[in-house]
A and B are shown apart, each in its own frame.
Chain A
């Protein structure tokens, strides 16, 4: 009898220890890496439902990819772009995104514009067949660019003939908004998501400290080199930079961030713009749109826009002349990187 009791106690001990291992939510960690929206994505979640959460995030990214792709013939955006000026039903979600993009375009004086798509294509950035278009071609294409060529109503949209849109400038930001919603629905206490240049950090790290986010040094894009390090919890961080995609012709470099005012790659004196905001749903989309717009606007106009208080966000600007300009909301959570060679300026 005593022997049986001893064996039972051992079994109970095993069960108890195993249960201890499962009770800690930080032991339940799931991380997956996928390709969607033409970019690698990594979803990492902690908590009991971490596995469910990351696979839901993957499904959502793929759903949005199919819905918003400009090149997939089955996508709503492709059909809208090829509707020859007719209005079509795009659904409330897509209509809402187009209207959000229009709002960011208005707020930034046209520096962000989803109808710049044909101009971007003329430079070859959508097909990887790079070329420098001539001025006459650009001038003709620019006549179809602008908010006035886009009409939305409830769940329908229409484009003027010759106008095409690409939601690529906010699609990954919107996807990150959906990821944060999915993580919250699944009670994920902490996690992170990387969607190309769009980052979400949720909660703190398992050791209780904030996430350390390195801002890639634009001068050394292929190295583990940072222009600055930010310590953040519950935040979206999005970077747009001229180093991310470019080609060279006749010794001149042409990058992928096109200024809707000129049809040429933005020549704003910046090499990267990083926008930071809290993880409230919707801010992922905002950070995505603003990182592009503020790159086009350049340092002075970007800081004026930040000071206007139109939206609640903070900035890290890296300039061509070797400065890192940081808005004062980040001054206490920014670590300078001495070996980067940059000089640092806090602005208010």
Chain B
């Protein structure tokens, strides 16, 4: 159940883009952890591409909306932004790397 729900959450998070880059937070590798407890409360641990990102508030709001509005089993989402470990380009998916002109 939890694993299926987790997959559903990841899928919905692909709707949330970093507006500056036009790529979603999952492919950018910004999502570090998705934790779900027994009451189906969700705790997301994520980062931003840069500290003091002006879009941080909007992206976090989008992460919450994407989950709460689209998955009926979930009513509560907490998001924590962390800077350690720092985000690097290696965290991006191949799709994101290609979109940004980085070739492995």
Physical interaction between A and B: no
Partner-B contacts on A (CB < 8 A):
none
Chain B residues near A (Cβ < 8 Å): none
